[in-house]
């Protein structure tokens, strides 16, 4: 399956989870094995050897773990507060419809490591900025951010670049 055909399976759900939000539902893409494989393969085009793949909870896990497997890389979960069982560092952030906190194990990424950060959607940029902050606080660096789709009108890309100049961001779809 071609990547454009795979991406066409994403559907918009208006007013979810709150009025005014246009939720991007990726479940039809995930349910289609060829589409999921096409996206994973496209993401793999951006992965360098030796890079650790980090995924942001929850839907970012799906793509990041598949990408880590496809590229024979390690996978690091960046989770919402209270989900990890070991010592963590935390970072709070704002998002399109509220606020939240992300955490990462203190020993998840070795200092000096290069990390490919993956999430499903780039909206306001708050979640990705929080994840970059956690990775940097671990002593590692983000070499690239990959997202399935980007909601351009929310200016998340600009926020990330303002806070972390030079960050390379690739989104497969921009709405």
Would you say residue 94 has pLDDT above 80?
Answer: no
With bands split at pLDDT 50, 70 and 90, how would you rate the model's confidence at 99?
confident
Would you say residue 143 has pLDDT above 70?
Answer: yes
104 within domain boundaries:
yes
Distances (CA, A) of 162 to 47, 125, 167, 169: 24, 11, 9, 13
With bands split at pLDDT 50, 70 and 90, how would you rate the model's confidence at 97?
low
30 within domain boundaries:
no
How many domains, the chain? 1
- In this structure, are residues 92 and 101 in contact, taking their beta carbons and an 8 Å threshold? yes
What is the overall mean pLDDT for the chain?
A: 94
Strands of the chain (E only): list them: 11-14, 22-25, 52-56, 75-80, 88-95, 98-105, 114-122, 141-150, 169-174
Q: Could you tell me the pTM of the whole model?
A: 0.94
Span 32-54, mean pLDDT?
Answer: 95
* 8: DSSP letter: T
58 within domain boundaries:
yes
111 within domain boundaries:
yes
Helix pair 156-163, 126-137: axis angle to 10 deg: 30
Six token digits for residue 11: 């559907």
* Burial tier of 109 (Cβ tally within 10 Å: 0-12, 13-18, 19+): buried
Instruction: Give the pLDDT of residue 96.
Output: 60
CATH code assigned at 169 = 3.40.50.2020
Asked if the bond preceding 58 is cis, omega within 30° of 0, the reply is yes
Contacts of 154 (CB under 8 A, 6+ apart): 96, 123, 124, 125
List, as one string, the DSSP characters of 59-109. HHHHHHHHHHHHTT--EEEEEETT--SS-EEEEEEEETTEEEEEEEETTSS
Catalytic residue list: 59, 96
- What are the tens digits of pLDDT across the range 62-82? 999 999 999 999 999 999 999
Instruction: Give the pLDDT of residue 114.
Output: 96
CA contacts within 13 A on the Cβ side of 28 = 11
Span 125-148, mean pLDDT?
Answer: 96
**What is the domain extent for residue 134?**
46-174
């Amino acid at each position: 399956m071609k990547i454009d055909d795979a991406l066409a399976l994403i559907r918009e759900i208006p007013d979810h989870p709150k009025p005014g939000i246009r939720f991007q539902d990726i479940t039809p893409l995930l349910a289609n094995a060829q589409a999921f494989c096409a996206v994973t393969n496209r993401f793999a085009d951006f992965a360098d050897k030796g890079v650790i793949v980090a995924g942001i909870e929850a839907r970012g896990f799906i793509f990041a773990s598949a990408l880590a497997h496809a590229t024979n890389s390690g996978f690091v979960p960046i989770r919402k507060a209270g989900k990890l069982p070991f010592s963590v560092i935390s970072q709070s952030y704002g998002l399109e419809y509220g606020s939240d906190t992300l955490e990462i194990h203190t020993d998840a990424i070795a200092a000096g490591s290069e990390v490919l950060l993956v999430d499903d959607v780039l909206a306001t940029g708050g979640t990705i900025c929080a994840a970059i902050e956690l990775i940097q606080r671990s002593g590692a660096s983000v070499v690239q951010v990959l997202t399935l789709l980007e909601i351009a009108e929310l200016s998340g890309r600009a926020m990330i670049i303002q806070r972390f100049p030079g960050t390379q961001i690739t989104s497969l779809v921009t709405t």
